[in-house]
Amino acid sequence: MKGSASIFCLLMFLFGVPHAIAERPTVRGIGAVAVALPLSEAGNVLRTERNIQVLLRVGASGSALDALGEHFVDFALCNREVEASDQAAFPQVVFTEIPIGVQLLAIAVSRDVWDGGVRSLSAGQLRGIYEGRIKNWKEVGGADQKIRLFMNEPGRGQWEMFVQWLYGEIKRAPVWKGDSVKEAQETRNVLEFTPGSFSLVPPSFANNRSIFNVAIHGESGELLEPTLANVLNKKYPLSRPLLLVTDDRPTGPLKVVVDFMVGERGQALVKRFGYVTLEELKTAKAVQ
């Protein structure tokens, strides 16, 4: 199904491990980098404390579900929900989604941009900035100042989420040729010390002193803030789930990995990477 031979060859190449490692209980997963980040840290803990080897490789959510459907991996790392087409391709598989958090991004600007009057941006304006057609903040209601957009490298999680929203399909997005940032701290430094800058960050990065979150114009004209309430009501566009997907209920070493990620220590790792935890989502839902 869906190119199973090529998937098999790829995974045999990716997951070939020395015999000494293979003797340990081993859990293999493939999928979205956003999910892999905290899970990789969890793997270090589980290897030391439980003698479980967690082997991860990154890839698209769809390909990860294909690999799970063919039973080449134990679980898929997904930043989207399982779709009807995924299930139809593998009717014998009981795709079971296990949330570990939510990735939520804000459009953040430097203080001088905020003071210049930019408090919200539309999808059309953001496309214009991304494509280089809008070069000055005065074109979107701000001061006469050059726009400095800093993006994750193409193919990485934040860039992918941004262009998926703006263009509907990633393949329709123009290649990003501007300034790139790799790590969270680098992005924070750019926003604090580069005039005219903006980037995509977790909402918690905004301190309302040097970094400010701006709202997004919704389709009906409302201003959408990067809040959990807007995530829960599915209004805010720059958010997506972080899911571990298994075939039916996890057992054995796989259950140990899953239980760790939904437990206190795993959720602390989710939070460390700037994601929204399950407890934060539960609290936000309770006050709605």
pLDDT digits (tens, 9 = 90+) for 42-95: 999 999 999 999 999 999 899 999 999 999 999 999 999 999 999 999 999 999
Note the pLDDT of residue 153. Answer: 67
Question: Which two structure tokens, joined as six digits, stand for 231?
Answer: 């995530």
Question: What is the pTM assigned to this prediction?
Answer: 0.85
CATH 3.40.50.360 for domain 4-102+238-286, yes or no, is no
Compute the distance between CA of residue 63 and CA of residue 84 in angstroms, rounded to an integer. Answer: 15
Q: Where does the chain hold its CATH 3.40.190.10 domain(s)?
A: 4-102+238-286, 106-225
pLDDT in tens, 227-271: 999 999 999 999 999 999 999 999 999 999 999 999 999 999 999
3-state secondary structure of 151: strand
Under CATH, what is the fold of the domain 106-225?
Answer: D-Maltodextrin-Binding Protein; domain 2 (3.40.190)
Contact 239, 158 (CB under 8 A): no
Neighbours of 209 (CB within 10 A): 8
Instruction: With beta carbons less than 8 A apart as the criterion, state whether 114 and 144 touch.
Output: no
Q: How far is CA 142 from CA 120, 135, 155, 190, 282, in A?
A: 10, 12, 30, 19, 37
**What SS3 class is residue 263?**
coil
CA separation for the pair 53, 46 (Å, rounded)? 7
H or E stretch including 191?
Answer: helix 184-193
- Beta pairing partners, 26: 53
